[in-house]
């Protein structure tokens, strides 16, 4: 029935015409999501004046929920709502979140505490935008005298009067802070919660509708999802280009509102589909109408997520010497839930597999679980793009493009989707040619290459940082950052396209859905850990501005070097495990 409808419409590049509508719908949704994501970390550090640690932790918690909520949204659509109704509801909820996020109120007011005494901080030439003015300067007001703040290499702070040092503060005696409006903070957290809930309904279900366009065994299915994936990347490029552009021209509200308008366009494409989707994504046969209860449940989920965000923001680091147990105890409630579920699910499912499945099924499940664990390593480091790498681009990167124009820090995230669009066909053709010769790497080896690749990308950036001295204000050339994204994009293409396919092939048939849930849970855990890792790259700021660019460069390169070697080490371990894993996979390619 569904396939006949698709073919009767005349087709779209050899595919059902409905694919064009879904392609465009997903493109505009990703436009909004990635446009907002590009701005979020800088919005938190520059408008709300959160510390790096607070901002990256909150960012990690948000992206973790973005990958966790689809598990619930997909289940509710399968059992009650139907995919199409879930998509429309999710789109409206996300649009409301974006527009609410745009209402940031007045920027936070910075202050400084010196030896327990609080003083006003004045920002000269301040603009409340993603890109700061080069002549912005922070000064502390002491006895009605403005003293400019400058961080020194040894951690001390110099207070300058007319360019001359009037006072030097010992390391640790100067602390920056900010006065924030509690109402605007609450609005911001509600907005993030709405986006997380809406994403849970939208994200899994539009992919389900794409799959329903093709009958079982239709060879166009993989090609159709490849085209659909291009829509994701085109939306990503557009969002990360235009949302930061409007934010720089008019203010944060403009960039974030543009993300909301993108989401409304996505909703309109499904709501006013001219009958194209009338036979797709409808309520399951004989399913009871529980729409009102589900919508009420979604509304109740918002304050629950707000509570989780607040708990995350108020969590304190573990005391020195408390060990791994102390670290786990210090995790936020969100972290405990994610880690607890993952740590219980992985061994629990394996025990069930050995008890209920055949020896071959148990071995295949073991291989799948090992790859899922290594998947956490990859996405933890890859997802530094929206947090620590964005802050690095803002502070320690010369973003000039051949002297013609300058990219904003959020726009540098566009390197990844651009490289994906350019390189995906190349890598696909390479795997095909190697497969014909019997040389295509196995799935574990592709995962290992991805891990070593994400590490190599960071090492390339660290290598480029050695050329960033005082003469160029401790800023790394843009092309070193682009090189990192090039290598990371190649690594992503080695792991992302094969992950879900691997799960479906290795899982015991009756728990494939559960294993899909564990796969997305692993990415959610990785997003949370990515926020934790980014906190290690936190640097001292006053009013959102770094006090010493040399120290910030050393902090970033030190953190990037550490995680690079961890990734390469994990890749080597997986490479050595690839031979027993391939045996346990029993012919799955």
Residues 176-216 have pLDDT tens digits of 999 999 999 999 999 999 999 999 999 989 988 988 888 87
* Structure confidence at residue 324 (pLDDT): 61
Provide, rounded to the nearest whole percent, the portion of the chain with pLDDT above 90.
Answer: 73
DSSP structure class, residue 540: -
If one compares 587 and 487, the residue with the highest pLDDT of the two is: 487
399 pLDDT higher than 50: yes
Q: Which two tokens stand for residue 24?
A: 């465009």
* Average pLDDT of span 307-333: 80
Q: Which two tokens stand for residue 72?
A: 């619930």
534 pLDDT higher than 50: yes
Q: What is the C-alpha to C-alpha distance for residues 189 and 384, in angstroms, rounded to an integer? A: 21
Angle, helices 333-356 vs 359-382, to 10°: value is 160
Q: What is the mean pLDDT of the chain?
A: 91
* Average pLDDT of span 5-29: 78
Which neighbouring-strand residues pair with 146?
141
Q: What is the C-alpha to C-alpha distance for residues 270 and 320, in angstroms, rounded to an integer? A: 53
Instruction: Please report which confidence band the pLDDT of residue 2 belongs to, taking 50, 70 and 90 as the band edges.
Output: very low
Instruction: Please report which confidence band the pLDDT of residue 320 belongs to, taking 50, 70 and 90 as the band edges.
Output: low
Give per-residue pLDDT as tens, 327-378: 677 889 999 999 899 999 999 999 999 998 899 999 999 999 999 999 999 9
227-236, 270-279, 362-371, 497-506: least confident range = 497-506
Which neighbouring-strand residues pair with 571?
none
Using DSSP, state whether 119 is helix, strand or coil. Answer: strand
Q: What is the C-alpha to C-alpha distance for residues 106 and 47, in angstroms, rounded to an integer? A: 8
* Structure confidence at residue 214 (pLDDT): 85
* Structure confidence at residue 5 (pLDDT): 41
Give per-residue pLDDT as tens, 145-171: 999 999 999 999 999 998 899 999 999
3 pLDDT higher than 70: no
DSSP structure class, residue 77: I
* Average pLDDT of span 425-448: 89
Give per-residue pLDDT as tens, 47-76: 999 999 999 999 999 999 999 999 899 889
DSSP assignment of 331-368, as one string?
S-HHHHHHHHHHHHHHHHHHHHHHHHS-HHHHHHHHHH
Are the C-beta atoms of residues 122 and 141 closer than 8 Å to each other? yes
Instruction: Please report which confidence band the pLDDT of residue 322 belongs to, taking 50, 70 and 90 as the band edges.
Output: low
263 pLDDT higher than 90: yes
Size of the chain in residues: 589
8 pLDDT higher than 50: no
Give per-residue pLDDT as tens, 83-129: 999 999 999 999 999 999 999 999 999 999 999 999 999 999 999 99
* Average pLDDT of span 310-321: 82
Q: Which two tokens stand for residue 381?
A: 């480091």
Q: From the CB of residue 242, how many other CB atoms can be counted at a distance below 10 Å?
A: 17
Q: Which two tokens stand for residue 165?
A: 């040092």
* Structure confidence at residue 357 (pLDDT): 87
* Average pLDDT of span 387-399: 96
Q: Which two tokens stand for residue 124?
A: 């000269």
């Amino acid at each position: 029935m569904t396939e006949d409808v698709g073919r009767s419409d005349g087709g779209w590049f050899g595919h059902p015409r409905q694919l064009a509508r879904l392609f465009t719908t997903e493109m505009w949704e990703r436009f909004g999501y990635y446009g907002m994501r590009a701005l979020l970390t800088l919005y938190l550090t520059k408008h709300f004046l959160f510390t790096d640690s607070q901002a990256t932790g909150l960012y990690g918690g948000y992206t973790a929920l973005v990958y966790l909520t689809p598990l619930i949204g997909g289940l509710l659509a399968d059992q009650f709502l139907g995919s199409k109704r879930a998509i429309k509801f999710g789109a409206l909820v996300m649009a409301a979140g974006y527009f609410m996020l745009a209402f940031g109120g007045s920027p936070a007011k910075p202050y400084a505490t010196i030896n327990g005494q609080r003083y006003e901080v004045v920002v000269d030439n301040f603009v409340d935008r993603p890109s700061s003015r080069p002549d912005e300067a922070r000064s502390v007001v002491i006895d009605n005298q403005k003293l400019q703040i400058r961080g020194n290499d040894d951690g001390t702070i110099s207070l300058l009067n007319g360019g001359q040092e009037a006072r030097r503060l010992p390391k640790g005696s100067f602390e920056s802070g900010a006065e924030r409006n509690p109402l605007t903070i609450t609005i911001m957290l509600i907005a993030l919660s709405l986006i997380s809930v809406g994403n849970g309904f939208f994200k899994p279900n539009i992919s389900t509708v794409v799959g329903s366009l093709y009958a079982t065994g239709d060879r166009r299915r993989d090609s159709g999802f490849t085209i659909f994936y291009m829509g994701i990347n085109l939306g990503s490029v557009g969002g990360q280009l235009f949302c930061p552009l409007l934010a720089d021209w008019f203010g944060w509200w403009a960039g974030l509102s543009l993300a909301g308008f993108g989401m409304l366009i996505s909703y309109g494409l499904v709501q006013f589909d001219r009958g194209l989707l009338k036979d797709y994504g409808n309520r399951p046969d004989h399913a009871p109408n529980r729409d009102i209860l589900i919508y009420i449940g979604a509304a109740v989920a918002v304050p629950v997520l707000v509570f989780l965000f607040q708990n995350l923001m108020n969590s304190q680091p573990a005391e020195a010497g408390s060990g791994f147990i102390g670290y786990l105890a210090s995790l936020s409630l969100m972290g405990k839930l994610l880690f607890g579920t993952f740590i219980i699910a992985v061994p629990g499912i394996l025990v069930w597999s050995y008890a209920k499945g055949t020896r071959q099924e148990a071995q295949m499940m073991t291989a799948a679980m090992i790859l899922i664990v290594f998947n956490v390593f990859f996405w933890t480091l890859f997802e530094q793009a929206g947090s620590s790498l964005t802050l690095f681009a803002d502070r320690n990167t010369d973003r000039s493009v051949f002297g013609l124009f300058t990219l904003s820090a959020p726009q540098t995230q566009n390197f990844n989707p651009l490289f994906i669009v350019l390189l995906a066909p190349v890598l696909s053709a390479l795997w095909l040619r190697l497969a014909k010769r019997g040389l295509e790497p196995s799935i574990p080896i592709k995962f290992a290459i991805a891990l070593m690749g994400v590490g190599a990308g960071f090492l390339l950036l660290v290598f480029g940082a050695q050329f960033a001295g005082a003469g160029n204000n401790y800023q790394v050339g843009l092309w070193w950052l682009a090189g990192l994204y090039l290598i990371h994009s190649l690594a992503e293409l080695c792991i992302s396209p094969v992950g879900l396919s691997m799960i479906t092939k290795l899982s015991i048939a009756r728990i494939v859905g559960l294993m899909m849930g564990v796969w997305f849970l692993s990415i959610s855990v990785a997003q949370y850990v990515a926020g934790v890792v980014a906190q290690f790259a936190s640097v001292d700021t006053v009013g959102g501005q770094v006090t010493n660019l040399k120290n910030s460069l050393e902090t970033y390169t030190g953190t990037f070097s550490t995680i690079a070697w961890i990734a390469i080490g994990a890749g080597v371990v997986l490479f050595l495990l690839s031979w027993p894993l391939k045996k346990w996979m029993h012919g799955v390619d």
